[in-house]
Structure 1
Amino acid sequence: MANDVFDFSPGAQIPIQGSGGQSVATNALASAAYRDSPVDVILDANSDWHKSTVKPGASKLFKSDYFKPNLGEAFSRAVQERMLGGSRAALIQSFGTDPQTVVEHCLSATNLRKARDTRLTLITAVFGLLFLPGMIAWVIAFRIKDALAKSKDAAFRAVGTVLLAAFGIGALILLWKLPTDRFWPLYVRGAIVAPLIGWFFAKRVAETSAQDLRARWDGLLSGTGVIAKIPEAVPKNPNETAREELRQSLEKLSAEQQSNAVFYAGPKGILGMGTRWGSWQLAEQLTPKDPTREIHQFRSWDLIRIIHDQLKMLERGPLNTGGFPKPSVKHWIVSPIGENADSVSRPDGEDVATFQVKPHEIQRICNHQQFGSGDRHYLGVQFTLWDGQLVITMMITVTVLHETLRIEVTGHALGPVHGLFFAKPAARTKTVNKTVRFWETRDIKLPVVEGREVVRLALRAPLTWFPPVLDYLGGKITLPEPFGLRHAWAAKPWNHRFMADDAMRAATPVLRVVHSAAMQVLAENGVDTERFDNRSMILSGLVQDPAPRKADVYDA
């Protein structure tokens, strides 16, 4: 395919941050790369149609939560693999966000964790592998304590604490009683003490890293401008093939984001744009205004071109009251796919360049592919509002069958990013009874990283450079297909009053501009517009209906 071998950029460039007007949604998704929440919380963001899953580790020998990734680790790994993989499937456009920025933050978070894991690996090698029996003994002790701590019975939880204390007392006795004049007694002492010293250093490294990651997480959601640092995406000489491949993958991602081909998945609507919530059709017979003369010949493209020009003027109005922001008016080629299709395939060939269907092919599809199989042409006007949280798309298609002209306007709405991605890092606290006035309680602040988390990071650190091994041992996130960053975790806009109002308010002005342009073209070509005018007035009344509907679900 030409799309796979074309270099999409003029040369090595430093990746830039997301474009304005959609930063909130972009930063919310990017913040997931830095989170230390449990990986299973991603399931709370599943929608009716797009469901992520958490695949547990396949290993039965090492089946333990110590190898299980947290949300940031699993999210970064899944997004990088899906969006930058050399043989990846086609992606759905992420309207209202900049997917390249999200991927860059995933790469940046991975780099930060690799730097942390390098230090942890060194600590593990010195204080763990050299004293392996002691490290195994301490891990087993903590594992037993954690297993008992998960019990609902307070007695079992107390037993875990008692056993760990007994293990510690036994270790102290060995330190005191063993002789000091031979190698193996000294080694046993080292095996008891060294893992504890290593754990202390590992805890310092883990806390520093956690604070850095949390600061970036909070900074993205607060809008303080967190920069993703990925020097490996900027090749310094022609021999750095890995950097060049990564740079081209990022450029390819941006090029695919600008593609003018989309996919209609039945009741799921147009993937990336959301479901169709409203539909209005103007369909009447083409009759000459002068019965003695025929109408002038015109094509669907002639009408679409005039509608296109007038839609670009939507931001202008007779009153200075704000109103519409500058809309994006674009020609789309829409391909039908199954409701439950697990992949999509972008058009290719000589009529496609860098994921863009060429203008002459768009015009041909508009004029000739109106009935039967094949792709269809739509003219779309899109508004990205609420800093990328709401994407309103009105799609217009024109068909002429025999003597009937049909102009159809449909409304699509993509809602805000799920609220899960807007949760800021919270300090870890615990409620305890006061010492003197025991009937009262107080909150005490806990360390950012608990002891169990230090053990988990230390065990995973040496395997960081072998991601498939970590996936096998601890599991991973499986993303929904066909995958697009934005629509995979979009909520419904109808639960937000102002967003719902914005979506429905956009329909009437767009519909009237389309009808006005249509009347102009018909009148210029000698068509009797009386019936079209009457029908247009009826639709102007119907569009006042404030209720969004499931227009893609046919009750048949």
Structure 2
Amino acid sequence: MADQAFDFSPGAQIPVQGAAGQTAATHALASAAYRDSPLEEILKADNEWHKSTVKKGRFSLFEPNLGEAFARAVQVRMLGGARKPLIQSFGAEPQAVVEHALAASRIRKQRDARLTAVMAVFGLLFLPGALLWIGVFQLRRTLAGSQGRKTGAVGSALLAAVGVLAVLFLIALPFGGFWAYYLRAMIVAPVIGWLFAKRICENTATDLRARWDGLLSGGGIGAKVPEAVPGNPNETAAEELRQGLEKLTAEQQSNTVFYAGPKGILGMGTRWGSWQLAEELVSKEPGKEFHQFRSWDVIKVIHDRLTLLQRGPLNTGGFPKPSVKHWIVVPVGEGAAEVARPEGQDVDTFQVKRHEIQRICDHQQFGSGNRHYLGVQFTLWDGQLVITMMITVTVLFETLRIEVTGHALGPVHSLFTSKPAAKTVEVAKTVRFWETVERKLPLVETAEVVRQMVRAPFTWYPPLLDFLGGKLVLPEPFGLRHAWAEQPWRHRFMADDAMRAATPVLRVAHSAAMRVLEENGVDTERFGTRSSFLGAGVQDPMPGKADVYDV
């Protein structure tokens, strides 16, 4: 199989992946692994085509927060042994995001190991009291989660009432002896354990928030994943994790993409414009035939010219160096839940070989099957904007058609770019009650400490936690970058950049094609006239929905 042919050569280090100008989108996505926000917030980042799902568990006290669920979902989806193929994350580095998810999970596992020890001493030895307190917090959480505010207030009142009864129970116990002392300890010990647990949780929360803020500030601490660095050949788990990261990087570099109807090319964004030049092939000299040529001959010249786009006649900055690449586009259904990458002897490490690309370009232009496109891609705005212009050349009977389409992938949702804020609540002043002031809340509240303590003993088996508390189900077909991307048209400068790239690319494609036609004795007068008309039409300042046919 293609995905098993990659040479996972042994090594002691994880290859460092990163590309200049792609850090903002990568860091924004990676920051989600360190967040302590409610899980439901990620649903706000869903776009029109890709919807996440929060699967509820059996007990709300076990439910994960956004960071826990995101890190778990990303690891399983992108590193799982039997995972489905992934969509490329243009403008981002998925390996870096996964490494931060692994690093965040490692920090939480270290916290949970300490919390488990606290639970063993102050919870397991005094199990009846611990279960009583856990039951009260679960009931309070259930009532507080209801829609009515009065019901939520009842839960808080219930917790306060139980606390008062516990104090009375300690003072006026109806009997003495060993069991009297044990019953008193049964009520007090979980509270003492909570104090130790609160200190542990606050230290971890401070660390996670510092990493969250550091990523979005442009620096931060790098992800440390020692479990992915095998120390000897017997560490099979570390070796499998290292190979999983290698495979992820290899798939990111694949030259196969998928067209899903109105969703466009997955990972590149929907088509916002399409321009076609189609004219009859007529010999320049009457009575003589022009020289035979193929689509690949035209594509090669266009490829060479596109690599020079950054060289302009004026010293005005202009285009950055583009990525020019041959793509194989595989059609899939609009509602497809998964994709399948090409396999066989013509595919090596997720890359369709050059001779097969040339064959598809020359012969697979009509009917079923994959298609060839030449793409020029600009990664701008520190990875937040990805502009892709796709070019295809077809020859049917005596007609040559050159089609140029524009794709734009916008920035990641603003949810991922929000920095950690201090937890505050607005309260009225004691004397001047008509005035309010913000009061700073603890970084980790009482209910959050209890939630983390309850989840800690089950960390050794994450599927059980998924069953008890729920999980995040990622949108399929899944790719980190396009799953939570916004439209670039809401940002004026990004929209300008996308539309400005179309005209130069279109003219380069047309001029390169004209050169091939001239060299092979084809009359280019009609092509020149048609190209002039397209040059005027491409300057339309309004993007459209080229993949949505209004029929």
| 1:122 alignment counterpart | 117
Specify which of 479, 488, 506 is matched with residue 483 of structure 2.
488
Superposed CA deviations along residues 277-327 of structure 1, whole A, max 9, x for unmatched, are 111111111111111321111111111000000000000010000010000
Decide whether aligned partners of structure 1 residues 150 and 291 sit closer, same or farther in structure 2, where only a CA change above 3 A counts: closer
| 2:279 alignment counterpart | 284
Specify which of 86, 90, 97 is matched with residue 91 of structure 1.
86
Would you say the 8 A contact 2:488–2:494 is kept in 1?
yes
Matched, 1:55 2:55: yes
Q: Distance in 2 between matches of 1:152 and 1:78?
A: 28
| 2:74 alignment counterpart | 79
Corresponding pairs, count: 551
Would you say the 8 A contact 1:180–1:186 is kept in 2?
no
Decide whether aligned partners of structure 1 residues 34 and 115 sit closer, same or farther in structure 2, where only a CA change above 3 A counts: same
> What is the one-letter code of the residue matched to 1:405?
L
Would you say the 8 A contact 2:60–2:142 is kept in 1?
no
Specify which of 525, 529, 533 is matched with residue 530 of structure 1.
525
Specify which of 203, 221, 224 is matched with residue 226 of structure 1.
221
Specify which of 251, 255, 276 is matched with residue 260 of structure 1.
255
| 2:241 alignment counterpart | 246
Would you say the 8 A contact 1:7–1:248 is kept in 2?
no
| 1:445 alignment counterpart | 440
| 1:412 alignment counterpart | 407
Q: Distance in 1 between matches of 2:261 and 2:314?
A: 40
Deviation at 1:439, TM superposition (A): 2.2
> What is the one-letter code of the residue matched to 1:7?
D
Superposed CA deviations along residues 60-109 of structure 1, whole A, max 9, x for unmatched, are xxx33211110001101111000000011110000000000000000000
Q: Distance in 2 between matches of 1:311 and 1:9?
A: 35
Decide whether aligned partners of structure 1 residues 397 and 153 sit closer, same or farther in structure 2, where only a CA change above 3 A counts: closer
Matched, 1:312 2:307: yes
| 1:19 alignment counterpart | 19
Decide whether aligned partners of structure 1 residues 153 and 295 sit closer, same or farther in structure 2, where only a CA change above 3 A counts: closer
| 1:379 alignment counterpart | 374
Deviates more, 1:502-511 or 1:150-159: 150-159
Q: Distance in 1 between matches of 2:315 and 2:507?
A: 20
Would you say the 8 A contact 2:406–2:502 is kept in 1?
yes
| 2:95 alignment counterpart | 100
> What is the one-letter code of the residue matched to 1:479?
L
Matched, 1:65 2:60: yes
Deviation at 1:179, TM superposition (A): 8.2
> What is the one-letter code of the residue matched to 1:91?
L
Would you say the 8 A contact 2:213–2:220 is kept in 1?
no
Decide whether aligned partners of structure 1 residues 181 and 15 sit closer, same or farther in structure 2, where only a CA change above 3 A counts: farther
| 1:38 alignment counterpart | 38
Decide whether aligned partners of structure 1 residues 284 and 140 sit closer, same or farther in structure 2, where only a CA change above 3 A counts: same
Q: Distance in 1 between matches of 2:148 and 2:514?
A: 76
Deviation at 1:144, TM superposition (A): 3.9
Superposed CA deviations along residues 340-381 of structure 1, whole A, max 9, x for unmatched, are 111100001101000000011111111111111111110000
Alignment RMSD: 1.6
Specify which of 190, 212, 216 is matched with residue 217 of structure 1.
212
> What is the one-letter code of the residue matched to 1:36?
D
Deviates more, 1:182-191 or 1:338-347: 182-191
Specify the SS of the correspondent of 2:125.
helix
Would you say the 8 A contact 1:429–1:445 is kept in 2?
yes
> What is the one-letter code of the residue matched to 1:119?
R
| 1:172 alignment counterpart | 167
Q: Distance in 2 between matches of 1:262 and 1:155?
A: 53
Deviation at 1:152, TM superposition (A): 6.9
Decide whether aligned partners of structure 1 residues 311 and 217 sit closer, same or farther in structure 2, where only a CA change above 3 A counts: same
| 1:60 alignment counterpart | none
Deviation at 1:180, TM superposition (A): 9.1
Would you say the 8 A contact 1:9–1:251 is kept in 2?
no
> What is the one-letter code of the residue matched to 2:379?
T
Deviation at 1:140, TM superposition (A): 2.5
Following superposition of structure 1 onto structure 2, how do residues 323-362 of structure 1 map, counting pairs within 5 Å? 323-362=318-357
Deviation at 1:9, TM superposition (A): 4.7
Q: Distance in 2 between matches of 1:382 and 1:154?
A: 52
Would you say the 8 A contact 2:375–2:391 is kept in 1?
yes
Q: Distance in 2 between matches of 1:89 and 1:522?
A: 44
Deviation at 1:242, TM superposition (A): 0.5
| 1:202 alignment counterpart | 197
Deviation at 1:153, TM superposition (A): 6.6
> What is the one-letter code of the residue matched to 1:24?
A
Superposed CA deviations along residues 522-554 of structure 1, whole A, max 9, x for unmatched, are 111111111111111111111111111111111
Deviation at 1:164, TM superposition (A): 3.2
> What is the one-letter code of the residue matched to 2:497?
D
Specify the SS of the correspondent of 1:93.
coil
| 2:538 alignment counterpart | 543
> What is the one-letter code of the residue matched to 2:435?
E
Deviation at 1:189, TM superposition (A): 1.4
Deviation at 1:5, TM superposition (A): 4.9
Decide whether aligned partners of structure 1 residues 446 and 509 sit closer, same or farther in structure 2, where only a CA change above 3 A counts: same
TM-score (structure 1 length as normaliser): 0.96
Superposed CA deviations along residues 121-174 of structure 1, whole A, max 9, x for unmatched, are 000010001101111122233334444555677765655444433322332233
> What is the one-letter code of the residue matched to 2:96?
T
Deviation at 1:182, TM superposition (A): 2.4
Matched, 1:299 2:326: no
Paired-residue identity, %: 72
Decide whether aligned partners of structure 1 residues 356 and 157 sit closer, same or farther in structure 2, where only a CA change above 3 A counts: closer
| 2:28 alignment counterpart | 28
Decide whether aligned partners of structure 1 residues 474 and 152 sit closer, same or farther in structure 2, where only a CA change above 3 A counts: closer
> What is the one-letter code of the residue matched to 2:87?
I
Deviation at 1:3, TM superposition (A): 1.9
Deviates more, 1:2-11 or 1:318-327: 2-11
Q: Distance in 2 between matches of 1:157 and 1:308?
A: 64
> What is the one-letter code of the residue matched to 2:392?
T
The runs of 5 or more residues in structure 2 that have no matched partner are none
> What is the one-letter code of the residue matched to 1:447?
P
Deviation at 1:17, TM superposition (A): 4.9
Specify the SS of the correspondent of 1:469.
helix
Q: Distance in 2 between matches of 1:295 and 1:155?
A: 85
> What is the one-letter code of the residue matched to 2:416?
F
Would you say the 8 A contact 1:399–1:406 is kept in 2?
yes
> What is the one-letter code of the residue matched to 1:457?
Q
Matched, 1:424 2:437: no
Specify the SS of the correspondent of 2:265.
coil
Q: Distance in 1 between matches of 2:71 and 2:295?
A: 46
Deviation at 1:431, TM superposition (A): 1.2
Superposed CA deviations along residues 479-506 of structure 1, whole A, max 9, x for unmatched, are 1111100111111111111111100000
Specify the SS of the correspondent of 1:506.
helix
Q: Distance in 2 between matches of 1:155 and 1:367?
A: 71
Specify the SS of the correspondent of 1:341.
coil
| 2:497 alignment counterpart | 502
TM-score (structure 2 length as normaliser): 0.97
